[in-house]
Amino acid sequence: MNIAIEAKNISKQYHIGRVNTQTLGLQQRALAGLAAPFKRIGGLLSGRATAAADLDQVFWALRDVSFNINEGEVVGIIGGNGAGKSTLLKVLSRITEPSSGTAMIKGRVGSLLEVGTGFHPELTGRENVYLNGSILGMSKNEVQKKFDEIVDFSEVEKFIDTPVKHYSSGMRVRLAFSVAAHVLPDVLIVDEVLSVGDVSFRKKCMDKMHEVGRQGSTVLVVSHNAQAITNMCQRAIWLEKGQINADGPVEKILASYLSQGMGLSGQRIWEASDAPGGTLARLRSISIKRENGEVTDSIDVRERFCIETEVDVLECGNGLVINHWFINSDGVNAFSSVDPENPTWKQQAWLPGRYLLKTWVPGNYLQVDTYTLDNILWAWEPRQQLQCHARDSVCFHVIESMESTSARSGWLGNLPGVVRPRLEWEMVHIGDDSIAKTSA
């Protein structure tokens, strides 16, 4: 494979804080203010950022970042706020120079890092398409050939001859992304700006990036949307505090990143002293387990898995019920489950002791997403008494390989929905005569 992007020991340093003039007298401050412009000019001529050097703190946005990306790869950059993701993309896009290290990109680059990057507010949308296309390396003839397609994709045709300063942020990002995606780039670099658009436009953008990737272009994308990264990318690079924390298959890297970010794992065990519950019963542990009994926080979308719950019953004469709520990354209760064979329904009481309950979730049922589990423990008989509602007991991630035989079945587009079961489909050829009769 040929290398499309090569980054070697990229570091980016910023000076932050303020110029330390507290020890100066009034006359000295005034003289320093008058001399500042000349000092800056002298620094620029000598290759030194003099004013920046006077600031009192140094911040490394990137530190010795190295990686190679092959032609045709679709790679996601993940990490928390301030991890260095946007700075890295700006270095790769030649918007800012690294303090040290080198970055080499092969071919034409289309980038969208900020809303309306390269747009002039006084120019119309039409004029900005040509201007932005030129900035991204297109000739006038290339822009003319793609112009109708660019405008149609952006859905701003009605306002194409209106100055961009009158556009909403959503309209600017539509037009900016449309230009960037239609320059036939060898490398497409996209930051989190797609969050500005509405749901339908974000779907169009996702589909377009899939299309660009299928055509052999290299795509580098930053997003906080775990499902988007999983659906689009085969590989993920995890940045943390300006350095690469991990680089590898998207499913593995994303699961580790999300687990760390939520501070939760696939198992929670409580001591008796802090176990959630009431006077009748309490929870002792919740575990997400594969069929072989291994505790995990990462489940393949095709995989059947088990939720094991241990409950201590403290007092006899009560019927108990436990309810699992599956909460997705948007905070939506995807579904809940109780045991239909529970003895409570037969008006039987649980004897004191410890019980292990197993809840099996079928494969090809959940959507690719991150889930937390709420556990509600009730005393149901002889009267209803809430024992506990343990929120965010455990966390697990449903992941998917693009080669998997799941409900996706090779489809690269978006598959919306809270759950995503693999249903049975049938197709019967009922003959050509019926087509003729229908068309007649």
Return the amino acid letter for 167. Answer: Y
> CA 218, CA 108: separation in Å to the nearest integer?
10
Q: Which has the higher per-residue pLDDT, 226 or 125?
A: 125
Highest mean pLDDT among 67-71, 227-231, 346-350: 67-71
Q: Give the whole-angstrom CA distance, residue 199 versus residue 157.
A: 19
Domain ranges across the chain: 63-260, 267-399
Q: Determine the average pLDDT of the residues in 318-329.
A: 89
> Does 275 have pLDDT greater than 60?
yes
Mean per-residue pLDDT for 7-21?
77
**Whole-number percent of the chain with pLDDT over 90:** 31
Of residues 210 and 385, which shows the higher confidence score?
A: 385
342 or 274: which leads in pLDDT: 274
pLDDT of residue 151: 92
- Helix 125-135 crosses helix 140-154 at what angle (to 10 degrees)? 120
Predicted pLDDT at 56: 59
CA gap 203, 230 in Å, rounded = 14
- Per-residue pLDDT, 114: 64
Has residue 440 got a pLDDT over 50?
no
Residue 264 clears pLDDT 60, i.e. is over it: yes
Residue 411 has pLDDT above 60, yes or no: no
Q: What pLDDT is recorded for position 281?
A: 93
pLDDT at residue 12, rounded to an integer: 93
Note the pLDDT of residue 126. 93
Residue 55 confidence class, pLDDT cut points 50, 70, 90: low
Class of domain 63-260: alpha beta
Count the alpha carbons within 13 Å of 223 in the hemisphere toward its beta carbon. 26
Judge whether residue 357 has pLDDT over 80: yes
Task: Find the mean pLDDT for residues 169-178.
Answer: 83
CB 307 within 8 A of CB 324: yes
351 class by beta-carbon count within 10 Å (0-12 exposed, 13-18 middle, 19+ buried): exposed
Residue 90 predicted with pLDDT over 60: yes
* Res. 410: pLDDT tops 60: no
CA distance 427 to 387: 50
- Residue 64 vs residue 53, higher pLDDT: 64
pLDDT tens for each residue of 126-160: 998 998 888 777 788 988 998 999 999 888 999 99
Q: Find the mean pLDDT for residues 159-163.
A: 93
Residue 291 in 3-state DSSP? coil
Sheet-wide strand order for 109-112: 109-112, 187-190, 218-222, 74-78, 235-240, 243-249
347 band by pLDDT with thresholds 50, 70 and 90: low
Mean pLDDT of 58-78: 90
In contact, 181 and 201? CB cutoff 8 Å: no
| Domain 267-399: assigned CATH number | 2.70.50.60
For residues 98 and 242, what is the distance between their CA atoms, to the nearest angstrom?
A: 13
pLDDT tier at 381, thresholds 50, 70, 90: confident
What pLDDT is stored for residue 404 in this prediction?
55
The upper half-sphere exposure of residue 185, i.e. CA atoms within 13 Å in the direction of its Cβ, equals 30
- Percent of the chain clearing pLDDT 70 (strictly above): 79
pLDDT tens, position by position, 203-254: 777 777 777 777 788 888 887 766 677 777 889 999 998 999 999 988 778 7
Q: Check residue 42 and give its pLDDT.
A: 59
Alpha carbons 177 and 111: distance in angstroms, whole number: 8
Compute the distance between CA of residue 115 and CA of residue 121 in angstroms, rounded to an integer: 12
Q: What are phi and psi of 81, to 5 degrees?
A: -60, 135
Q: When comparing pLDDT for 108 and 235, which is higher? A: 235
Q: For the chain, what is the mean pLDDT?
A: 81
Predicted confidence at residue 20, as pLDDT, reads: 53
Q: What is the rounded CA–CA span in Å between residue 180 and residue 159?
A: 19
Per-residue confidence (pLDDT) for residue 186, from 0 to 100: 85
Q: Looking at residue 387, what is its pLDDT?
A: 93
Q: What is the pTM of this model?
A: 0.61
Q: Kindly provide the b/e burial profile for residues 17-28, where b requires at least 16 CB atoms within 10 angstroms of the residue's own CB.
A: eeeeeeeeeeee
